[in-house]
Amino acid sequence: MSERLQPGDQAPAFTLPDADGNEVSLSDHKGRKVIVYFYPAALTPGCTKQACDFTDNLELLAGAGYDVIGISPDKPEKLARFRETESLKVTLLADPDKKTLDAYGAFGEKKNYGRTYMGVIRSTVVVDEDGKVERALYNVRATGHVAKIIKDLGI
């Protein structure tokens, strides 16, 4: 399990396939702020709620200068199905080998009903225009999280 990111850290670079198989890099967003959120699995109730919340607030976030990228260990085909099924507008990226999840501290030990296992830690990292971590939030809740980010960022 990697270290969790702290404000001021350089955000780890990544290049991952989107739902259509096109490569998307963090560096493509240089000069804009980016909200990178990590979620366990497409087409599950909590992850759907979170992705729909980001989609519903995308205009507001974009107007304030933020791009939104969601990353999960799902394959691009599943992300495409997720996007179509839920009419999502956020950029969804596939990280099946979990290298980016690990680099951001969003993959590690979890506990559920007394069981310990390795999995995706629902997390959100706000990256500034220069590629530095502005905020790093871990173990966030799927419901109400987007509203909290908007409030915390003063949007």
The residues assigned a catalytic role are 47
Length of the chain: 155
Whether 107 and 120 have beta carbons less than 8 Å apart is answered as: yes
Whether 146 and 50 have beta carbons less than 8 Å apart is answered as: yes
Q: State which amino acid sits at residue 41.
A: A
